[in-house]
């Protein structure tokens, strides 16, 4: 082998060795450039790198606990001045709802007669514990300023005469003691065909039914005094 050939082989070998060395030191493009999928997996999400703003804000639940109770920020009731008392010191009872209703004098007369049921009979009794028939009418009317006379015959002439069909609560009913006789008995009509009268010791102040034959046969008239 000639010297020239040997020299060519050495040069070729060195060149190959240098080429191989350069390949191992410089990575290929595929080994250094990550794929798009690897980029997505290796780059952290934006939300995980940036701080969450709520961490810098106060916690609302903590605010609730830190809000002072009313007793801490306002005076209690014991330190406040007393409210003015607008109630009437003389009135210790509950409001009377009956004040909402306006009663006529006639209705009040009838109501008073009802309250006196059971009162003892006594000739000449003017009340409030004992009555005769004219005394009961006299008491009930005089209580409300109606100045009726004391005797039944006089009451039968007082006020306005009305028929049986016109009688209303609070009117006076006039009777005779015998059929066709003079006026001698009076009572207070309360409605529903009933009247209150003081009859005799056996039948004190009580309710009577003016539709019974006894009273129908002795009825004279009604008297309106209100």
Residue 184 has pLDDT above 90, yes or no: yes
Question: What pLDDT is recorded for position 205?
Answer: 95
Residue with the bigger pLDDT between 16 and 125: it is 125
Split at pLDDT 50, 70, 90, the class of 6 is: confident
Q: Using CB atoms within 10 Å of the CB of residue 170, give its burial: 0 to 12 exposed, 13 to 18 middle, 19+ buried.
A: buried
C-alpha 133/C-alpha 123 separation (Å) is 9
Nearest 10 degrees: CA dihedral of 20, 24, 25, 30?
120
- Tens-place pLDDT, residues 115-162: 999 999 999 999 899 999 999 999 999 999 999 999 999 999 999 999
C-alpha 131/C-alpha 116 separation (Å) is 10
C-alpha 38/C-alpha 31 separation (Å) is 12
Query: Do residues 195 and 208 lie in contact, with contact meaning Cβ atoms separated by under 8 Å?
Result: yes
Residue with the bigger pLDDT between 184 and 25: it is 184
- Residue 208 C-alpha from the chain's centroid: 43
Burial 194-209 (b: 16+ CB within 10 A, else e): bbbbbbeeeebbeebe
DSSP 211: T
Residue 33 has pLDDT above 60, yes or no: no
Using DSSP's 3-state secondary structure scheme, residue 65 falls into helix
The least confident of 70-79, 136-145, 160-169, 182-191 is 70-79
Q: What percent of the chain has pLDDT over 90?
A: 51
The least confident of 90-104, 105-119, 164-178, 193-207 is 90-104
Question: What pLDDT is recorded for position 101?
Answer: 66
Split at pLDDT 50, 70, 90, the class of 76 is: very low
Instruction: Kindly state whether residue 143 falls inside one of the protein's structural domains.
Output: yes
Instruction: Kindly state whether residue 180 falls inside one of the protein's structural domains.
Output: yes
What kind and span of H or E run contains 175? Answer: strand 172-176
Instruction: Kindly state whether residue 170 falls inside one of the protein's structural domains.
Output: yes
Instruction: Kindly state whether residue 44 falls inside one of the protein's structural domains.
Output: no
Question: What pLDDT is recorded for position 80?
Answer: 31
Query: Do residues 131 and 143 lie in contact, with contact meaning Cβ atoms separated by under 8 Å?
Result: no
pTM of the model: 0.56
Question: What pLDDT is recorded for position 35?
Answer: 45
CATH, residue 213: 3.90.1720.10
Question: What pLDDT is recorded for position 156?
Answer: 97
Which residue(s) pair with 224 in the sheet? 160
Q: For the chain, how many structural domains are there in total?
A: 1
Q: What number of H helices and E strands is found in the chain?
A: 10, 8
C-alpha 155/C-alpha 56 separation (Å) is 100
Show the domain range for 176: 105-224
Instruction: Kindly state whether residue 198 falls inside one of the protein's structural domains.
Output: yes
Query: Do residues 103 and 170 lie in contact, with contact meaning Cβ atoms separated by under 8 Å?
Result: no
Instruction: Kindly state whether residue 183 falls inside one of the protein's structural domains.
Output: yes
Instruction: Kindly state whether residue 54 falls inside one of the protein's structural domains.
Output: no
C-alpha 164/C-alpha 181 separation (Å) is 18
- Tens-place pLDDT, residues 210-224: 999 999 999 999 999
> What average pLDDT does the structure give for the chain?
74
Query: How confident is the model over 103-109, as a mean pLDDT?
Result: 95
Residue with the bigger pLDDT between 32 and 206: it is 206
Residue 196 has pLDDT above 80, yes or no: yes
Instruction: Kindly state whether residue 32 falls inside one of the protein's structural domains.
Output: no
Residue 23 has pLDDT above 70, yes or no: no
């Amino acid at each position: 082998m000639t010297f020239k050939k040997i020299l060519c082989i050495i040069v070729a070998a060195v060149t190959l060795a240098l080429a191989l060395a350069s390949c191992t030191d410089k990575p290929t493009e595929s080994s250094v450039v990550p794929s798009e999928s690897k980029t997505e997996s290796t780059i952290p999400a934006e939300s995980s790198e940036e701080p969450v703003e709520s961490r810098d804000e106060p916690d609302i639940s903590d605010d609730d606990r830190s809000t002072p109770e009313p007793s801490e920020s306002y005076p209690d009731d014991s330190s406040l001045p007393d409210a003015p008392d607008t109630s009437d010191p003389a009135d210790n009872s509950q409001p009377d709802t009956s004040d909402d209703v306006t009663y006529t004098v006639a209705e009040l007369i009838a109501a008073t007669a009802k309250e006196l049921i059971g009162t003892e009979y006594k000739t000449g009794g003017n009340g409030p514990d004992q009555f005769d028939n004219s005394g009961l009418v006299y008491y009930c009317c005089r209580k409300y300023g109606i100045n009726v006379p004391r005797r039944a015959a006089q009451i039968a002439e007082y006020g306005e005469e009305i028929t049986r069909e016109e009688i209303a609560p609070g009117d006076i009913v006039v009777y005779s003691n015998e059929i066709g006789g003079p006026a001698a008995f009076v009572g207070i009509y309360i409605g529903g065909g009933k009247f209150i009268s003081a009859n005799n010791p056996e039948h004190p102040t009580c309710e009577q039914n003016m539709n019974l034959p006894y009273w129908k046969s002795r009825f004279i008239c009604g008297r309106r005094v209100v």
